[in-house]
Structure 1
Amino acid sequence: MTNETNYTGGCFCGAVQFTVIGKPVAMGYCHCESCRQWSASPVNAFTLWKPEAIQITRGSENIGTYNKTPNSYRKWCKTCGGHVFTEHPGMGLIDVYAATIPQFPYHARIHVNYQETVLRIKDGLPKMKDLPKEMGGSDLSVAE
């Protein structure tokens, strides 16, 4: 272990637990239809981490996987159905849902896929049409 800050998280029932180490690469809100449907909410609060920053500490055998597309491998607890994270192989990052790491100091910096929003949020943060260029998007902004 390093001297970096660790935060623990897990699924709804606690059968799956994990630790994230250090700081995420990015934090924000995703408004795409897939994230909205998967999270059963109008917006998904994401934290993107490098795979080596995440350690499953309990219940790895209890993690189910579903991928609608090769861009996202969504993970959940097989016991309670609670969502825990999504692997994004093309980006080389893992989205750990902000709600699953309760002590983590979440501070959104951006809205992505805002062209698909069903909930307008006026918070002064940048609103991206899709994704930033470094994540494979157009890097186009849209109005708040």
Structure 2
Amino acid sequence: MSNKKVYNGSCFCGAIQFTATGEPEAMGYCHCESCRKWSAGPVNAFTLWNPEAVQITQGIEHIGTYHKTPKSYRKWCKVCGGHVFTEHPEMELVDIYAAAIPELPYQPSLHVHYQEAKLKIKDGLPKIKDMPKEMGGSGITVAE
């Protein structure tokens, strides 16, 4: 029996339910144009999980998929249109939108694609030009 914490999440209407077990690999903010447009906001709060930690418990038939590039398979609810998560095959991670997991204590550790930021956030966290080196990026930091 595992002692790992299980977080419950859902889409906006609740038709899709899922769990995320354990702790995310990373939490932060993405400022790229793609995430901004998809989230309809100036910044996207993300949590990155190993795919094995994420389980759809209800409503798999309601999941729609869109991928503009092979790097991101964005998932949403066909009932309410609520965005749920994004699969990142190259990184072998799943990005669950922080707002979709209300009980997760969200603790961001960095900003990615900060050079594209439309909303500058001065919070003392590292601001990465693209992505950290461990995630295939340059790891170059930019000024807050």
AA aligned opposite 2:37: Q
Matched, 1:94 2:94: yes
What does 1:1-144 correspond to in 2, within 5 Å? 2-144=2-144
SS at 1:36 equivalent: helix
**Structure 2: 5+ residue stretches without partners:** none
Q: How many residues align?
A: 144
Give the RMSD, CA atoms, in angstroms.
Answer: 0.6
SS at 2:27 equivalent: strand
AA aligned opposite 2:47: T
SS at 1:99 equivalent: helix
Q: How far off its partner does 1:3 sit?
A: 1.4
Between the aligned partners of 1:3 and 1:55, the Cα distance in structure 2 is: 17
Q: How far off its partner does 1:121 sit?
A: 0.4
Between the aligned partners of 2:23 and 2:62, the Cα distance in structure 1 is: 26
Q: How far off its partner does 1:2 sit?
A: 1.9
Q: Which runs of 4 or more aligned residues in structure 1 lie more than 6 Å from their structure 2 counterparts after TM superposition?
A: none
**Structure 1: 5+ residue stretches without partners:** none
Q: How far off its partner does 1:45 sit?
A: 0.2
Calculate the TM-score normalised by the size of structure 1. 0.99
Between the aligned partners of 1:8 and 1:42, the Cα distance in structure 2 is: 26
